[in-house]
Amino acid sequence: MNQAFKHPIRHLRSSRQQGFTLVELAVVLAVIGLIIGAVAIGKDVQRNAEYTKVKNKFIDQWEQAYNQYYQRTGVVLGDSQTAPQNMVNGEQYLAAGTRSGRNMTGVTPPNAICRAAAGRGMTRGFTNGTDPDLRALMTRAGIRMPPGRAEGLEDRYVYLDSNGNPQEIQVCFQWNVPLANGSAANAVGDGAGNVMIITGLTPDLARSLDQMIDGKPDEREGRFRRQGVENNAGGSAINGPGQEWQATNRDSIDAAHARDRSFDEDQVAIVTAVFRMNQ
């Protein structure tokens, strides 16, 4: 008699214990890997789309609003229309008994122009109630501002960092003093002239904006750069190669654990950028 019929229970039990083959396990692992890879790629695509949105819907629109103010009034933000200084907040500079032109390398610049308060991390001062208010200037000239966070907060934009924590961008405008020919080596160069100050940027977002604006992420040179970076003015490396953005999204916003902490629960560190205007 056939052995399979003589011991049917044993035959069924042995067939059930065979399990998966190596080929089947390999296919399952490959599918799992593809799913994990797709999720990771999806997060990167979503983050890149958010970075592009920040530039197109906020930074670019504020640059356009600044240019529209100049076209409509004939002066830059906060400048005197009767005695233009070609400086942001030039009216304050004029009121101090000085005027622009000649050697400007050693002058004291006027305060920044912000909405209600200076951005976190800015080095230039702003006095609410004394210095011109950004929103008031734009509204008075009939300039349409970006939507921003809300009505009255058009200068702010909120987004999520790579760890899922909310971060707030704020824009202000100011005039920066040019570097002197005899500046010491490693002097800070934040880009002379009228600039937009952008606070609240995570390092990855700042690097992405720099790539989109200047064509390469360089924190020391170009129209878009990081505030406070040593520019080697007067040193041996004048106009030398640029410098990569030193901060990363692995850094924590907590000053006590700022460098390369890399906890998923951390709020990512932020940097301040300088964006030079054309007017």
pLDDT tens for the chain, residues 1 to 279:
444 445 554 444 444 555 668 777 778 788 777 776 655 555 567 778 899 999 999 999 999 999 999 999 999 999 999 999 999 999 999 988 888 988 888 889 999 999 999 999 999 999 999 999 999 999 999 999 999 999 999 999 999 988 889 999 999 999 998 876 555 555 666 778 999 999 999 999 999 999 999 999 989 888 999 998 876 654 555 556 678 888 888 888 876 556 666 677 788 889 999 999 998
Distance CA(250)–CA(203), nearest Å, equals: 9
Helix (H) or strand (E) holding 232: strand 230-233
For the entire predicted model, the pTM comes to 0.81
Long-range contacts of 262-266 (CB under 8 A, 24+ apart): 264/163, 265/163, 266/163
User: What stretches of 74-194 show up as alpha helix (H) in DSSP?
Assistant: 90-95, 134-140
Distance CA 174, CA 158 (A): 22
As a whole number of Å, the end-to-end CA separation of the chain is 100
**Tell me, what DSSP letter sits at residue 225?**
E
* pLDDT value of residue 152: 95
Candidates 278, 271, 194, 184; CA nearest to 232 is 184
State which amino acid sits at residue 75. V
Residues 88 and 110: their CA atoms lie apart, in Å, by 8
Position 5 scores a pLDDT of: 46
pLDDT of residue 1: 47
In the prediction, which pLDDT does 191 show? 76
- pLDDT at 129 (0 to 100): 92
Using CA atoms, how far residue 170 sits from 6, 159, 217, 264, in Å, is 83, 12, 21, 25
Rounded distance between C-alpha atoms, residue 218 and residue 115, angstroms: 29
User: What was the pLDDT predicted at 192?
Assistant: 80
Task: Provide the token pair at 161.
Answer: 């960092």
Amino acid found at 34:
L
C-alpha dist (Å) from residue 132 to 15, 98, 115, 186 = 84, 18, 9, 33
CA distance 258 to 87: 36
DSSP 50-104: HHHHHIIIIIHHHHHHHHHHHHHHSS-TT--SSS--SSTTHHHHHHTT--S-S--
Residue ranges of domains in the chain: 20-276
Q: Tokens 């920044």 — which residue?
A: 112
